[in-house]
A and B are shown apart, each in its own frame.
Chain A
């Protein structure tokens, strides 16, 4: 059943990758504001004018 070590290792690599990403995100301030992003996505439909419409 050595394959299980292999799988655990592979899973750990992914998990550590995500952990790094998480730490990066926190340090980057990605989660400092946990309200406006949810509202901001609602306001992207105002377009200047469509070239083709």
Chain B
């Protein structure tokens, strides 16, 4: 492999930054599409009672979209909260504990939301 930056090692980086940047945007677009899908259906004429509201989430395509949105949310919030902990919490042990709690909390919340979605 041709390199122009030395012979001892390949300086390529781990691309964590790019991956986080890109996943933050892709997951945001997924959630924006979900938001539009909900708004359009809510704005349809007629009273918004339980039947219309639950019927919205009864369609298989809406279930899939909601599922993808929940997973996107999980990922998006993880990147965001990790940034916040990295910026404001300096002690490594405390930061690690907060990271672990955040992951556990988010996975738990996502599980709850997915359970709600698929028992309809």
Do A and B come from the same complex? no
- The interface of chain A, by Cβ under 8 A from chain B, is none
